């Protein structure tokens, strides 16, 4: 009986974690679809390397933020139904976190590319770990900074642990799917 209670609790934490991170998950994948055109760094270089590279574009950034924010609004709209169906308490986003989470995700991605270029890694070269967690760090970091009270009420330590462990797996699975659909050049 204790086992059942424990696993039911674990399932709830996973569901709550995925729910709260969804507006931070989709921007990366949407940027692949909406991206292209003018790079964020406008082609600027530093130390012989691009500042960010052609993989970071304004359209990708804007599309990712807009899509993530829209998703948060949609999740808020179905909040009661989803919570009742899944049998768990789910987070409400509200306008500020709806914007902050995807913005932080895209900023984390930009900061990671900045670091990769400084380390001499070519655009698109995989950096396992960083590639799967840059947007998590960006989203949670910016939320802690800009909407601290929402952050404290929305996320528990077990949820953050689940997010850090489960996100790389989810990310790899979606990227492999995007690769098979011909949307991405690499399967990772
Ligand atoms: N993308 C974009 N603008 C962004 C983020 C992503 O246009 N702000 C698009 C680009 O087409 C990019 C693709 O999404 O190639 C995949 O994103 P990502 O893997 O983050 O970029 P990489 O091409 O791997 O470049 P980097 O090495 O800088 O991460
Ligand atoms: Mg990449």
The string of DSSP letters for 88-148 reads: S------HHHHHHHHHHHHHHHHHHHHHHHHTTPPTT---TTHHHHHHHHHHHHHHHHHSH
Q: What is the pLDDT averaged over residues 27-34? A: 94
pLDDT at 2 over 60: no
Of 141, 132, 135, 131, whose CA–CA distance to 169 is shortest?
A: 132
Percentage of the chain exceeding pLDDT 70: 96
Q: Which residue, judged by its Cα, is nearest atom 22 of ligand 1?
A: 124
Q: Indicate the angle between helix axes 2-34 and 95-118, nearest 10 degrees.
A: 70
Q: Which helix or strand (DSSP H or E) is residue 46 part of? A: strand 45-46
CA angle (40 as vertex; 34, 46 as ends), nearest 5 = 145
Q: How far is the CA of 22 from the centre of ligand 2 (A)?
A: 19
pLDDT at 85 over 80: yes
pLDDT at 46 over 60: yes
Report the pLDDT value the prediction gives residue 169, as an integer from 0 to 100.
87
pLDDT at 4 over 80: no
Q: Which helix or strand (DSSP H or E) is residue 50 part of? A: strand 49-50
User: Ligand 1: does its nearest atom lie under 6 Å from the Cβ of 108?
Assistant: no
pLDDT at 3 over 70: no
Query: What is the position in ligand 1's atom list of the atom closest to the CA of 53?
Result: 28
Report the pLDDT value the prediction gives residue 5, as an integer from 0 to 100.
59
CA 2 to chain centre: 34
Which has more pLDDT, 126 or 90? 90
- The DSSP 8-state label assigned to residue 45 in this structure reads E
pLDDT-derived band at 66, boundaries 50, 70, 90:
very high
User: Ligand 1: does its nearest atom lie under 6 Å from the Cβ of 60?
Assistant: yes
pLDDT at 6 over 90: no
CA angle (68 as vertex; 162, 165 as ends), nearest 5 = 15
- Strand, coil or helix: what is 181? coil
User: Ligand 1: does its nearest atom lie under 6 Å from the Cβ of 31?
Assistant: yes
pLDDT at 144 over 60: yes
Q: How far is the CA of 131 from the centre of ligand 2 (A)?
A: 7
């Amino acid at each position: 009986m204790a086992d059942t209670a424990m696993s039911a609790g674990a399932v709830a934490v996973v569901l709550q974690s995925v729910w709260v991170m969804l507006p931070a998950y989709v921007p990366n994948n949407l940027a692949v679809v909406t991206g292209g055109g003018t790079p964020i760094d406008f082609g600027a270089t530093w130390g012989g390397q691009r500042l960010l590279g052609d993989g970071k574009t304004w359209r990708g950034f804007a599309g990712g933020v807009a899509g993530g924010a829209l998703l948060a609004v949609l999740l808020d709209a179905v909040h009661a139904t989803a919570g009742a169906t899944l049998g768990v308490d789910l987070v409400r986003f509200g306008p500020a976190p709806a914007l902050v989470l995807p913005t932080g995700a895209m900023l984390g991605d930009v900061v990671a590319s900045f670091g990769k270029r400084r380390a001499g890694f070519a655009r698109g070269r995989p950096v396992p770990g960083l590639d799967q967690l840059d947007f998590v760090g960006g989203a949670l970091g910016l939320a802690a900074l800009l909407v601290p009270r929402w952050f404290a009420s929305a996320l528990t330590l077990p949820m953050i642990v689940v997010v850090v462990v489960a996100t790389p797996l989810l990310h790899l699975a979606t990227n492999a799917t995007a690769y098979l659909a011909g949307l991405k050049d690499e399967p990772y």
